[in-house]
């Protein structure tokens, strides 16, 4: 494989993440990170992406890919929940291949959960048993880690954009839907576990708690939010307008219209697992991809 620098672009249902990193002596050195709201799955009906969503997504991808090529030709593009379900996803995948010569890798929900686990195996060694969750726009992934090993992975069709598309602004209906989905799960046989939240909702909530004006992953990584703090934030969001919420996350203002729904999902996850707090991880599937073997990376790039 040519070069030891890589760019990983994660095309999610709500936002697009860019990670440019260097693999050096078996360690990952971050060179650049970025996140942009694409609302890829916004107003998606009958599993058809809208033209507006495709335009927004392509615009962000053009910027990310051109910038990435200043560092490396090793660029991995992955699509998750929205890409798995969209019947017209070829409008994006073929475009990427024709315009940039890149493969659009659509990963399964279980792969997504596994990569989240891989990304964090060495980050929370102080805890024996961990349940990792990633509340996304179209799905929520769980990775169950016992004594330093990933024992199972799970993906649910439970996402922020999915709920907003279905129920619009009715938080009570959304909450009932989340409870129903979670109550269908069988709890793993794990004792003394901790919950770890990954993704934009978890990191935004921690940023709000710490009153950050600029996102800093090194500050929020491994911080903790209690169930009481979470419920207080949810009640506040319900009373606030979108512009007021946006002022709390100036670096990610477009998340304001969905943060209440995301907070509710996290709150329901804590209730389901009877947990009084959760930790935050700043490491998602992009880090999991780069923590794979050289052979696996080569396969994704081919």
Residues 190 and 81 in one domain: no
Residues 26 and 88 in one domain: yes
Distance in angstroms (rounded) separating the CA atoms of residues 127 and 237: 32
- Residue numbers of the chain with a pLDDT score lower than 50: 1
Residues 275 and 136 in one domain: yes
Tell me if 289 is assigned to some domain: no
Q: Supply the pLDDT for residue 294.
A: 61
Tell me if 83 is assigned to some domain: yes
Reduce the DSSP state of residue 22 to 3 states and report it: strand
Q: Supply the pLDDT for residue 222.
A: 97
Q: Supply the pLDDT for residue 1.
A: 45
pTM greater than 0.75: yes
Strand order in the sheet with 104-106: 27-37, 15-24, 5-11, 75-79, 104-106
Indicate the DSSP class of residue 48. B
Q: Supply the pLDDT for residue 295.
A: 64
Residues 42 and 137 in one domain: no
Q: How many domains does the structure of the chain reveal?
A: 2
Q: Which domain holds residue 36?
A: 5-108
Q: Give the CATH number, domain containing residue 72.
A: 3.30.420.40
């Amino acid at each position: 494989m040519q070069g030891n620098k890589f760019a990983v672009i994660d095309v999610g249902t709500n936002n697009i993440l860019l990670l440019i990193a260097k693999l050096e002596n078996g360690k990952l050195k971050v060179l650049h990170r970025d996140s942009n709201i694409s609302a890829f799955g916004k107003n998606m009906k009958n599993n058809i992406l809208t033209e507006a969503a495709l335009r927004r997504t392509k615009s962000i991808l053009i910027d990310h890919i051109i910038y990435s090529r200043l560092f490396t030709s090793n660029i991995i593009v992955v699509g998750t929940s929205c890409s798995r379900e969209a019947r017209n996803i070829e409008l994006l995948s073929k475009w990427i291949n024709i315009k940039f010569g890149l493969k659009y890798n659509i990963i399964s929900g279980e792969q997504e959960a596994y990569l989240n686990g891989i990304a964090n195996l060495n980050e929370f060694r102080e805890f024996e048993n961990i349940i990792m969750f990633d509340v996304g726009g179209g799905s929520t992934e769980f990775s169950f880690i016992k004594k330093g090993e990933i024992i199972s992975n799970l993906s649910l069709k439970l996402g922020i954009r999915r709920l907003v598309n279905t129920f619009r602004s009715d938080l009570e209906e959304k909450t009932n839907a989340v409870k129903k989905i979670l109550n269908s799960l069988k709890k793993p046989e794990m004792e003394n576990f901790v919950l770890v939240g990954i993704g934009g909702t978890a990191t935004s909530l921690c940023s709000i708690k710490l009153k950050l004006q600029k996102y800093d992953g090194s500050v929020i990584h491994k911080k903790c939010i209690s169930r009481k703090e979470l419920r207080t934030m949810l009640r506040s969001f319900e009373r606030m307008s979108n512009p007021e919420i946006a002022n709390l996350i100036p670096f990610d203002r477009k998340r304001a219209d969905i943060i209440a729904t995301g907070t509710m999902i996290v709150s329901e996850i804590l209730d389901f697992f009877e947990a009084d707090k959760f930790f935050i991880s700043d490491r998602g599937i992009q880090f999991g991809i780069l923590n794979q073997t050289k052979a696996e990376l080569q396969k994704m790039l081919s």
